[in-house]
Amino acid sequence: MESFVCLKLEFMKFRKSFIKFLLIFPAVLSAAMLTIGLYFRKNSFISYGGLKDSFSGVLLANNSILAWNIILLLFVIAMSISLFYIETANDSLTSICSSNLKRGSIYLGKWMFLFISTILMISIGIFILIIDAKIFGIPIVLDNGVIMKYICFELFFSLGLVSFQLFLISILKDITTSTIVSLLAAVGFNAVHIGKGIVPYIPYLYYSNSTPFSDTNILRQSLITSLIYFVVFLVIGVVTFNFKDIRE
CA distance linking residue 192 with residue 195, whole number of Å: 10
Give the range with max mean pLDDT: 181-190, 210-219, 231-240: 231-240
Q: For Cα atoms 88, 107, 175, give the angle at the middle one, nearest 5 degrees.
A: 30
CA 32 to chain centre: 20
Rounded Cα distance between 25 and 23, Å, is: 6
Query: Across the chain, what does the average pLDDT equal?
Result: 83
- Where do the structural domains in the chain lie, given as residue ranges? 2-243
Element containing residue 195 per DSSP (H, E):
none
Share of the chain above pLDDT 70, in %: 89
**pTM of the model as a whole:** 0.88
C-alpha span between 54 and 48 (Å, rounded): 8
How far is it, in rounded angstroms, from Cα 37 to Cα 96?
46
Letter for the amino acid at 139? P
Q: What is the pLDDT of residues 15-35, one digit of tens each?
A: 777 777 777 888 899 999 999
pLDDT mean over 222-237: 94
On whether the CB atoms of residues 64 and 139 are closer than 8 A, the answer is no
Between CA 152 and CA 158 the distance in angstroms is 10
